[in-house]
Structure 1
């Protein structure tokens, strides 16, 4: 079984994709997504944004200051 990613790589591409989906959703809806929200990105891929935000909260102690600031800027209260 593959180990869970941690460190610099964990906040890389997957985090950025989730952040992009979250930004897109908030720009359209004006609020944070519910758990069941699936966002379609411009490249045609789907992102389970509602699940992603919950996972980020559960892993918030692993995020660096820049990641937390990016989430806080979008209105994620627990990231402030």
Structure 2
């Protein structure tokens, strides 16, 4: 949700590492750190999660 909100507002999914996104319910997500963690752990993510991230514009999964 935080990444989708950020993309809607900024028009990109390139998030600065130190950025924190505040959701409508007041929850703060350290989005920059979260995004970097997803990239680091991409080999362990499920196909569903990879597809969801790709739908937002993140293209980290490699074919093969």
Provide structure 2 residue ranges, at least 5 long, that are not aligned to the other structure: none
If the length of structure 2 is used for normalisation, what is the TM-score? Answer: 0.88
If the length of structure 1 is used for normalisation, what is the TM-score? Answer: 0.71
Residues 34-66 of structure 1 show CA distances to partners (whole Å, capped at 9, x for unaligned) of: 111100011101000011000011111111111
Structure 1 residue ranges, 4+ long, deviating more than 3 angstroms after superposition:
none
Q: Determine which structure has the larger helix proportion and give its number.
A: 1
Provide structure 1 residue ranges, at least 5 long, that are not aligned to the other structure: 1-19
RMSD over aligned Cα, in angstroms? 1.1
Specify which structure has the bigger relative contact order, considering alpha-carbon pairs within 8 angstroms and separated by 6 or more residues: 2
